[in-house]
Chain A
Amino acid sequence: MINLVRNEMLKLLRKKRLYVIILIIAFLVPLFTYAQFKEIQEQREKMGNQDWRTVLQQEITDTQNRLSSSRIQDEWRKYLKIRLSQQQYYLENDIDPRAPGAPTFMRIFVENSIDLLLPLLVMVIVADLVSSEASGGTIKLLLTRPVKRWRILLSKYIAMLMSVSFIVLSVAVLSYVISGLVFGYGGWNMPLLTGFAVSGDELLTDRVHIVPQWQYILMEFGLVWYVSVIVGTLTFMLSVLLRSTAAVMGIMLASLIAGAILVNMVSSWESAKYFFMVNLNLTNYVSGMATPIEGMSLGFSMAVLAVWGLAGFIIAFVTFSKRDIY
């Protein structure tokens, strides 16, 4: 098995896909760093040399003002209310959630890339893992070896897991190293709040507790990894089912983007919460953001993703071991 996995890793490396991914990240991170830097600068300019508490208080007031306007939508109102109580919580406990620093950037970057950017990167790697063997014809040589088919597929799956871990690690390292040039490398021990739960439009704070930022980041990266593995598994399944890598990418891309759109529209279509693509934003549960649909929670989303992932895994293995190869 180790030999098989080694083979798959070799092919992955030789196809240069991993390098492309690293390049993409290395290109995007400075972009976002700059954007973040600009934002902080603008805030500083607007607020003068004010204390962050004042700024946060101002935000709270702004939020309250927006809330009092009668024209805002119900969902938006709900979101604002949650945001509001959270901001007040930070203020009361003297925690600056936006202190600049590379770890903070990492956290913000990963929270924003969990539902689209990272799944896309994963998809680029995984989409042709099996389909390229089929379209390139090499599958004929691969499957006429004295190795059972499921073992071959399993080696590919393990290679997929490894490359997903590698991508997530690249995101972590690159975002830390590059943004640190601007924001500095400190801030690992900053306390952050987590454990918010939403029930109706109330923010439940009975489980809220403080964790140091490094733990918070590690937790978020764990979730990002989980989401990436699920997206990877589904892409993997499509890669088994379809010969054409372009078709695999097309379907994955469409569903991911549809997910990003749906999240903003589905609050009244309740059963949409069973789609995998509206459940990708796991980090929102940790940071206590509003859920797109009533009744979603970290446990729920993880379970939905697990079911999709498991189904994809089973479909992939069953079809691959049974299928005729023309």
Chain B
Amino acid sequence: MSNTPALEVENLTKKIKRKLIIKGVSFTLYPGEVFGFLGPNGAGKTTTIRMIVGLISPTSGTIKIGGKNVRTEFTEAMRHLGCIVENPELYPYLTGWENLEHFAKMDPSIPKDRLDEVVTQVGLQNRIHDRVSTYSLGMRQRLGIAQALLGKPKVLILDEPTNGLDPAGIREMREFIRTLAREENLSVLVSSHLLSEIQLMCDRVAIISKGAVIRTDSVENLLAEQERVIWKAEPLSLAKEILEKETEVQEGLDQTLITLYDEPQLPIWNEKLVTAGVKVKEMRTQLPSLEDLFLEVTGGESID
């Protein structure tokens, strides 16, 4: 996991109409790793991704894919890259197969049987010869991934890949991405504005806000700091008294108490409550909302 980086982004900035939209973003992806790119709407995720895939040119900074600079060695860099930027927009008047053929033809290094491989991989065998205009959103998303995988890339970039998918679809997508990273040693960059999604899929996360990365860390670390436990107990005042001796306690809505998530301590706290005669009705962990997380990492700055 820590050999040569698959994608290196260094000090990337972008100015559009004199306005600095991306303010020095840096991060690195290693092979086999799923990297989350987390930020609220308008944070600059898509803009950064567009620069990585060469659609827009950065104002300053360097991007290297598989060691190749996107600006100076465009074709070599692109050979290692597969991507979907925003929605997977394919040619609606062509069939799925024709779409794949179209993109495969653009890279002579792609062998012919690769098409069958990717189609099976994304599970589109049944509908691949239908026109894309008849596809559902989920099918388009799969076809989008299929075209991204055509060139056996080292880096896969997916901008909000679960956008518009139903829960089953989201789960499937998640597992698919994990499998790819595990079995093909692919590095995947996934952007999202949903922490829950990122949490289940990614190894590491960069949190981006207003065009700057404010924190990069592994998911466990981030969550460990921020996860909370919600208690429902009777009588509430007694419970609060007991818990306050152990840790910080806040009062939540609906007669609840909120404490930090501290895995080894939890059973002990619980035991203490029970022995004191408090009825613990419910005890659950809760992910902080993205907003909470932001408040936490930025120290009170709001999203916009």
Touch A–B, Cβ below 8 Å: yes
B55 at the interface (CB under 8 A from A): yes
Contact with B along A137-161 (1 / 0, CB 8 A): 1101111111110000000000000
B-facing residues in A4-50 (Cβ within 8 Å): 4, 6-7, 10-11, 14-16
Residue of B nearest to A325 (CB): B55
A-facing residues in B88-111 (Cβ within 8 Å): 89-94, 98, 102-103, 105-108
Give the shortest distance, in Å, between A220 (CB) and chain B (any CB).
35
Docked complex Cα distance between A148 and B76 (Å):
10
Partner of B93, one of A14, A143, A148: A14
From A10, A143, A146, A325, residue with most partner B Cβ within 10 Å: A146
- Chain B interface, DSSP helix/strand/loop, else mixed: loop
Residue of B nearest to A147 (CB): B106
Question: Contact residue range for chain B?
Answer: 20 to 34
Beyond A3-B106, A4-B105, A324-B55, whether A141 also contacts B147 by CB under 8 A is: yes
Docked complex Cα distance between A307 and B53 (Å):
36
A136 at the interface (CB under 8 A from B): yes
B171 at the interface (CB under 8 A from A): no
Beyond A3-B105, A4-B105, A10-B102, whether A143 also contacts B54 by CB under 8 A is: yes
Contact B90 A138 (CB under 8 A): yes
Q: List, in ascending order, chain A residues with CB within 8 A of B151's CB.
A: 146
Beyond A137-B89, A148-B75, whether A11 also contacts B55 by CB under 8 A is: no
A326 at the interface (CB under 8 A from B): yes
Contact A146 B55 (CB under 8 A): no
Residue of A nearest to B75 (CB): A146
Give the shortest distance, in Å, between B188 (CB) and chain A (any CB).
16
Q: List, in ascending order, chain B residues with CB within 8 A of A7's CB.
A: 102, 105-106
Given A7-B106, A146-B74, A146-B106, 10 new contacts (CB under 8 A): A11-B91, A16-B93, A140-B53, A140-B86, A140-B89, A142-B106, A145-B78, A145-B103, A146-B76, A148-B74
Q: What residues of chain B have their CB less than 8 Å away from a CB belonging to chain A? A: 50, 53-57, 74-76, 78-79, 81, 83, 85-87, 89-94, 98, 102-103, 105-108, 147, 151
Q: What residues of chain A have their CB less than 8 Å away from a CB belonging to chain B? A: 3-4, 6-7, 10-11, 14-16, 136-138, 140-148, 322, 324-326
Query: Lowest 8 A-B CB distances belong to which pairs?
Result: A137-B89, A324-B56, A146-B78, A3-B105, A145-B106, A325-B55, A146-B75, A146-B79
